[in-house]
Chain A
């Protein structure tokens, strides 16, 4: 049989459906209410945008500058929403036409947000990572198969998991790092007592060192030498790398000393507004996860507490609490966002999928590539994806299988750009 017969079958089924009530009049009334509500919200949003506070980044007394140089940004200008954005949702991957705007920030819809495996594999500027690997794979220790650095450090967090970190060598082969010598540590501050002390900044940008929070100290590991070290710190703040070898012990105020992981000695200090650039781009957003510095600026996952109701963009944001990746160049240029999903489902359960992992290898100024991790709750496969900022191009970098249903994967990536 042919497609005509399938069509006939579906039409025969459809022909049985009749209209039981007129939907036109109530729809017109609902549409009129929406127009009025949007008019009110737009007025309020314009007033809020004027009140945005400017943040910034500054390195106080850093002795050797190896971190990406950033210039404090300026608020992006508020622009009129694109008149046709939501009516032209499909464009070629390289297109720079946004699907919507929030203030001055261009917003692009992520292709296949629920099915990363269907995305094309990244070819241009691809980091040295395998297309796919198994988080549960058997792997030799670094002592058995030495490496000088790792491209990634990965761990599975959850009940009854193996106490190890999987290191990906530059040739894509795995190494297993036994961390059973370390104490459990509640990295996320959620009250967990059995959690491994792994986190999304455990690997240094060069892939040479690892750092793990412990009570009263930071445990360090030198991949090239296969040796452990310890840096006394009390209390241990959220760890972040600034430069190749410096750990930034940032306090809740945003300022803190830098400590050289090689010597354990103070090497400077830094102060930074962690989420300033992203929140200047979208003032109504809440930051989620870690902000990432890179060659083209800062990147941050943000959540909008409410989908925009502006008439020209409302249909782009289909659900509640849209989740976006925001890339903001530090020089005042326009910011761009990638709409990747929703932060919670209808029952209020966490459903956020994506966190910024790193910046990737772009092709030039204005062509930054943002690398992010797709791992929504319950997914047994996680993906590392790349977004060419300011375009619709989203590609698959690598696939991670073996995530247990009752656990999640924690990843930390070496610097993925040259």
Chain B
């Protein structure tokens, strides 16, 4: 029978391997480094709390689910404070072909999405998950993922016209 020491060692090894990847996903999900760290900490703690059952399964998938759902929950509680449209003055007007400007434009456009839309974009286009897995992470149907993706890309195009060529072929 595995002991507590083994569990701690195995969890710590896994967490150290995956924490940076989770942090990067969390930053893309939230747009906020500090909140992203908090989220990753919570997700890792949730995995640790059930490590014996997750060790032989998919701890990263579970951690990702906790990240996404807790971020949405956090947003629900704070939406009056954080919901905002990206206004014209904020739109990037510099050279849209410069990589740094495009990233800046994408950041700002992502900030105009709902957390669910943002999660769909990050999970589909950054994590490269198929729609079915995105649906599982979010706890919604695949149809909802499709519609949320469509809405998110439309909103990104509206918020950042300079990225229209980048977003043009996506659906």
Contact = CB atoms under 8 A, between A and B. Distances in A.
Nearest to A113: B76
Q: Which of B25, B27, B50, B62 has the largest count of A CB atoms less than 10 A from its CB?
A: B50
Contact of A23 (B19, B62, B116): B19
Contacts of B12: 24-25, 28
Given A24-B15, A109-B139, A30 B126 contact: no
* B-side interface mostly: helix
Contacts of B57: 87
Given A90-B135, A111-B140, A346-B77, A35 B49 contact: yes
Given A6-B170, A23-B37, A31-B45, A319 B76 contact: yes
Interface residues of B, number: 60
Contact of A3 (B27, B33, B37, B169): B169
A23 B16 CA distance: 8
Interface string B1-43: 0000000100110011001100111011000010001001100
A27 B24 contact: no
A87 B62 CA distance: 7
B65 to A, nearest CB: 7
A23 B41 CA distance: 6
A34 B45 contact: yes
B89 interface: no
Interface in B119-133: 122, 125-126, 128
B73 A318 contact: yes
Interface string A14-39: 11011101111111101110110010
Contacts of B51: 31
Nearest to A346: B77
Nearest to A19: B20
Nearest to B38: A23
Nearest to B107: A13
Contacts of B126: 7, 10-11, 14
A186 interface: no
A418 interface: no
A111 B11 contact: no
A99 to B, nearest CB: 8
Given A10-B125, A311-B50, A114 B147 contact: no
Contacts of B138: 90
Contact of A27 (B41, B65, B72, B107): B41
Given A28-B8, A109-B139, A118 B169 contact: no
A140 B128 CA distance: 56
Nearest to A376: B76
Given A27-B45, A28-B48, A89-B139, A3 B125 contact: yes
A156 B52 CA distance: 53
A240 interface: no
A30 B19 CA distance: 15
Given A22-B16, A34-B45, A318-B73, A17 B125 contact: no
A315 interface: yes
B48 to A, nearest CB: 3
A345 interface: yes
A135 B72 CA distance: 31
B46 interface: yes
Contacts of B125: 3, 6-7, 10
B106 A13 contact: yes
Interface string B53-90: 10001000010011001101100111000000000000
B2 to A, nearest CB: 15
Contacts of B65: 89, 315
A80 interface: no
A234 interface: no
A111 B49 CA distance: 27
B44 interface: yes
Contacts of A2: 169-170
Contacts of B78: 345-346
Contact of B15 (A3, A9, A28, A115): A28
A118 B62 CA distance: 26
Contacts of A351: 76-77
B47 interface: yes
Contacts of B66: 315
Q: Which 9 residue pairs are nearest across A and B when measured between Cβ atoms?
A: A31-B48, A27-B44, A24-B15, A30-B45, A14-B24, A31-B49, A318-B73, A89-B139, A34-B49
Interface of B: 8, 11-12, 15-16, 19-20, 23-25, 27-28, 33, 37, 40-41, 44-51, 53, 57, 62, 65-66, 69-70, 72-73, 76-78, 99, 102-103, 106-107, 116, 122, 125-126, 128, 135-136, 138-141, 144, 147, 165-170
Interface of A: 1-3, 5-7, 9-15, 17-19, 21-28, 30-32, 34-35, 38, 83, 87, 89-90, 93, 109, 111-112, 114-115, 118, 311, 314-315, 318-319, 341-342, 345-346, 351
8 contacts: A13-B28, A23-B15, A23-B23, A23-B44, A26-B41, A28-B8, A319-B77, A351-B76
